Amino acid sequence: MKKILIQFDTDAMPSCFDRVVAVDAGVDDLFSYGGISTENVVGLVHGAIFTRGPGSLKNTAIFIGGSRVADGEAILRKVQASYYGPMRVSVMMDSNGCNTTAAAAVVAAAQHLDISATRAVVLGGTGPVGHRVAQILASQGANVRLVSRSAERAAETCDLIRTQTESGTLEPAGAATVDELLNCCHGRELVVAAGAAGVCFLPTGVLSQLGDAAVAIDLNAVPPVGIADIGVTDKAKVIGGTTCYGAIGVGGIKMKIHRAAVASLFEANDRVLDTPEIFSLAQNIQNA
């Protein structure tokens, strides 16, 4: 039976990136829908769950994407609420690549650090990617300082993460200037920059001031990058004693995780792949 992936994209135009990855993950047929909302998704879910018998439903799966992560989360809840007992299909949520990117960053860091004993800082921690990086790090027992321009937004994100994982510790911080950001990085073995595309947090020449950072990862690929001393393609490149990854350097691992996650949807009809599940899969890939 053909493997059908049904792409629910909250943007008007279904993501070309997610479509290419679906094909590379071995999907036979891809049904792509744009402009998906909680108002119009239920009928499509019913189309997915009522067409094949329960024993064959593992050959149909749903991928939720789009640029607005909060919308993707709402769609994921709605999809799950539209299932009836065994009449369900596996579903993955990766709006804006948030889960696969965050998982890739943490498995990269884990090649060099014992995350459970790591003091980390996540710059741009209130965005979808930074939030998930902090969530995964905390879930692995790390002590995480989550930084935003607004201490209040940082505290809100930390509160939300505490509802998602009881492990680790989270400490919100507000920082806007380079000196304030450097101060937040002080004493941290892991620095992850997850700021918006084209936002530079640490300009050229300051990496050497991150004296305690064994690993630094910048996820922003759009110039100016988030940590200017790190090249976008750097992958485990040691710069002045710090092992560095740029956004494209992490991108290879991210692509592997994304493809493996899509492929795994077709192993059963009841998988729900969100942040913890995608990180677990990423760890298996890393350890294989």
- Residues at the interface with ligand NAP (CB under 6 A): 96-97, 101, 124, 126-130, 148-150, 153, 194-197, 199, 219-222, 247, 250-251, 254
As measured in angstroms, the least distance from the Cβ of 251 to ligand NAP is 4
Cβ-in-10-Å burial (0-12, 13-18, 19+) of 251 comes to buried
Alpha helices in the chain (DSSP H): 16-24, 41-49, 69-81, 98-110, 128-139, 151-164, 178-185, 247-264, 275-287
44 or 199, CB closer to ligand NAP?
199
Distances in Å between the alpha carbon of 216 and those of 19, 43, 219, 287? Answer: 31, 45, 10, 21
Minimum gap (Å) between residue 113 Cβ and ligand NAP: 19
Distinct helix (H) and strand (E) counts, the chain: 9, 12
Least separation in angstroms between CB 146 and ligand NAP = 9
Shortest distance, CB of residue 219 to ligand NAP, whole angstroms?
4
Identity of the residue, 4 or 227, whose beta carbon is nearer to ligand NAP in the bound complex = 227
Query: Which residues have a Cβ under 8 Å from the Cβ of 109 and sit 6 or more positions away?
Result: 115, 118, 120, 190, 192, 215, 217
| Cβ at position 178, least distance to ligand NAP in Å | 11
Comparison of 112 and 149: residue with beta carbon closer to ligand NAP: 149
> For residues 58 and 131, which CB has a smaller minimum distance to ligand NAP in the complex?
131
Cβ-based nearer residue to ligand NAP, 89 or 184: 184
Residue number, 6 or 21, with CB nearest to ligand NAP: 21
Instruction: Identify the residue whose tokens are 């879910």.
Output: 45
Tokens (6 digits) for 35: 């402009």
**C-beta of 76: minimal distance to ligand NAP in Å?**
17
Closest residue to ligand NAP, judged by C-beta, is 127
Q: Which amino acid is at 13?
A: M
Residue 143 falls in which region: left (phi positive, over 0), alpha (psi -120 to 50) or beta: beta
